[in-house]
C-alpha cells in the first residue's frame, strides 16, 4: 500500500457543496447519532461526498464534511486517508477494483491484470477519455467466482481475458452490461457437471444426528470389549467363583474425609461436591438429560 495523499491542488475543485438531496440525506444520517456524537457520521458523509464528487473525495469535500459535523479538518483528513475505499485522486467513470488476492490469482487474475495494464494503463491512471481507471484491492469475497473485478457498485465475475475485454468494450461504447458471472453461470453454482453432494441419503433426513450415533456405537463397543477382557483376566487369575464382598458386623467402617485424603483422594465425595455447588449442577444435569433424550 502506498502513501495516500490528497490530489494536487491544480485538479482540486474550487468548492464542494452537497446537493439539496444529499444535504437532506446527510441531515437524516447525522440525526441518528446522539447529541455530541455527530462526528460518528463522518464515514457516511465522506462516502456520500465521494459519490457526489465523481467517485473521489476532494479537499473541499473534506472541509465541507468537517464543517457540517463541527470537526477539525485534520480529523476528517485522518479518516479519509485511513480508509482505502475513499479515493483521494480522480477516478474514471468506470472505476475498476481488481481483486488480486490468492484465490483470484490461482484462477487466472494475472491475465485480467494484464488486460487492465494494457487497456487502461498503470494503477490509478485515468484513461484519456476519462472512462476507466483501476486499482488492485484485497479480497472482495467472491472467491467462488474468481477471478473477478468490481466496477463502480457491481461485481463482474468468472472473468477471462476475452469476456473481460468484451465487458470493457461494452462499457466504453455504452452498451448495457450484465453484472455478475460473465460465463453464463447464474450465481456460484457448479460450473459444469455436478459431482459433489450426490448421495440421496443427504436429502432424506437419515444423516441427521448420524455422527452422534456413530460415536455412541463406537463407545459401547469399546466398553463391551474392555469388560469382556477384564472378566477373562479375572477368571484366569482367580479361579474361585465370584462372590459378593461380605461384610460382617463391626468390620464395616464409614469412610471419613481424613481417610480419603490419606488415600490420596479429594476430601469431599463427588456427590457431596455436586450438592455443594448448585450453580453448576443444574446446567450439567440439563446437558446430561438432553444427551439422553437425543441418544
Partner 1 sequence: MAKIIVDDVEVEVPGEYTLLQACEAAGVEVPRFCFHERLSIAGNCRMCLVEVKGGPPKPTASCAMNVRDLRPGPNGEPPVISTRSPMVKKAREGVMEFLLINHPLDCPICDQGGECDLQDQAMAYGVDSSRFAENKRAVENKYIGPLVRTSMNRCIHCTRCVRFVTEVAGVPDLGAIGRGEDMEITTYLEKAMRSELQGNVIDLCPVGALTSKPYMFKARPWELLKTETVDVMDALGSAIRVDARGREVMRVLPRINEAVNEEWISDKSRFIWDGLKTQRLDRPYVRENGRLRPASWQEALGVVAARVRSTAPNRLGAIVGDLAAAEESFALKSLLSRLGSINIDGRQDGTALDPILGRATYLFNTTIAGIHEADAILLVGTNPRREAAVLNARIRERWRLGNLKVGLIGEPADLTYTHEYLGAGSDTLAAIADGTHSFADVLKQAERPLVIIGQGALSRRDGLAVLSLAARAAVAVGAVKDDWNGFSVLHTAASRVGSLDLGLVPGEGGLNAAEQAAGGVDTLFLLGADEIKVADGPFVVYIGTHGDQGAHRADVILPGAAYTEKSGLYVNTEGRVQIANRAVFPPGEAREDWAIIRALSELVGHKLPFDNIAQLRQSLFVSHPHLARIDTVEPADHTAIERLAALGGATDKTGFETPVVDFYLTNPIARASAIMAECSALALGVSRQAAE
Which spans of this chain sit near partner 1 (rule: CB under 8 A)?
1-4, 6, 59, 72-75, 77-78, 81-82
Q: What residue has cell string 481507471? A: 133
Measured from the CB atom, the residue of 1 and 194 that comes closer to partner 1 is 1
Q: How far is the CB of 31 from partner 1 (least distance, A)?
A: 21
Measured from the CB atom, the residue of 46 and 146 that comes closer to partner 1 is 46
Q: How far is the CB of 59 from partner 1 (least distance, A)?
A: 7
Query: Beta strand 180-181 with 149-151: parallel, antiparallel or unpaired?
Result: unpaired
Q: How far is the CB of 23 from partner 1 (least distance, A)?
A: 23
Measured from the CB atom, the residue of 136 and 216 that comes closer to partner 1 is 136
Measured from the CB atom, the residue of 4 and 274 that comes closer to partner 1 is 4
Size of the chain in residues: 295
In contact, 98 and 136? CB cutoff 8 Å: yes
Name which of 89, 110, 128 is nearest 164 in CA terms: 110
Measured from the CB atom, the residue of 76 and 171 that comes closer to partner 1 is 76
Q: How far is the CB of 4 from partner 1 (least distance, A)?
A: 6
**Distance between CA 142 and CA 151 in Å, rounded?**
14
- Sheet-wide strand order for 154-157: 132-137, 94-99, 149-151, 154-157, 180-181
Measured from the CB atom, the residue of 2 and 254 that comes closer to partner 1 is 2
Q: How far is the CB of 63 from partner 1 (least distance, A)?
A: 9
Residue 97: strand pairing partners = 135, 150
Three-state SS at 177: coil
Q: How far is the CB of 247 from partner 1 (least distance, A)?
A: 39
Name which of 161, 74, 69, 154 is nearest 109 in CA terms: 161
Cα of 100 vs its chain's centroid, Å: 18
First to last CA, the chain: 55
Amino acid at each position: 500500500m502506498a502513501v495516500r495523499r490528497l490530489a494536487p491542488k491544480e485538479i482540486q475543485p474550487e468548492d464542494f457543496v452537497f446537493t439539496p438531496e444529499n444535504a437532506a440525506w446527510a441531515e437524516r444520517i447525522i440525526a441518528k447519532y446522539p447529541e455530541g456524537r455527530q462526528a460518528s457520521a463522518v464515514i457516511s458523509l465522506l462516502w456520500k461526498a465521494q459519490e457526489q464528487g465523481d467517485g473521489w473525495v476532494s479537499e473541499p469535500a473534506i472541509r465541507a464534511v468537517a464543517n457540517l459535523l463541527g470537526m477539525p479538518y485534520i480529523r476528517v483528513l485522518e479518516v479519509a486517508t485511513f480508509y482505502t475505499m475513499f479515493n483521494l485522486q480522480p477516478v474514471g467513470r468506470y472505476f475498476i477494483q481488481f481483486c488480486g488476492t490468492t484465490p483470484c490469482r490461482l484462477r487466472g487474475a494475472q491475465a485480467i491484470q494484464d488486460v487492465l495494464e494494457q487497456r487502461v494503463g498503470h494503477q490509478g491512471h485515468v484513461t484519456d477519455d476519462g472512462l476507466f481507471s483501476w486499482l488492485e484491492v484485497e479480497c472482495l469475497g467472491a472467491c467462488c467466482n474468481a477471478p473477478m473485478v468490481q466496477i463502480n457498485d457491481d461485481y463482474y465475475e468468472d472473468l477471462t481475458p476475452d469476456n473481460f475485454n468484451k465487458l470493457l468494450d461494452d462499457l466504453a461504447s455504452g452498451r448495457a452490461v450484465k453484472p455478475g458471472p460473465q460465463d453464463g453461470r447464474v450465481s456460484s453454482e457448479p460450473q459444469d457437471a455436478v459431482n459433489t453432494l450426490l448421495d440421496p441419503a443427504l436429502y432424506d433426513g437419515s444423516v441427521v444426528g448420524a455422527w452422534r450415533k456413530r460415536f455412541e456405537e463406537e463407545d459401547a463397543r469399546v466398553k463391551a470389549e474392555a469388560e469382556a477382557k477384564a472378566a477373562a483376566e479375572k477368571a484366569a487369575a482367580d479361579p474361585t467363583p465370584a462372590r459378593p464382598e461380605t461384610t460382617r458386623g463391626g468390620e464395616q467402617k464409614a469412610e471419613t474425609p481424613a481417610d480419603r485424603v490419606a488415600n490420596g483422594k479429594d476430601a469431599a465425595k463427588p456427590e457431596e461436591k455436586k450438592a455443594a455447588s448448585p450453580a453448576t449442577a443444574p446446567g450439567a444435569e440439563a446437558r446430561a438429560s438432553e444427551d439422553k433424550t437425543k441418544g
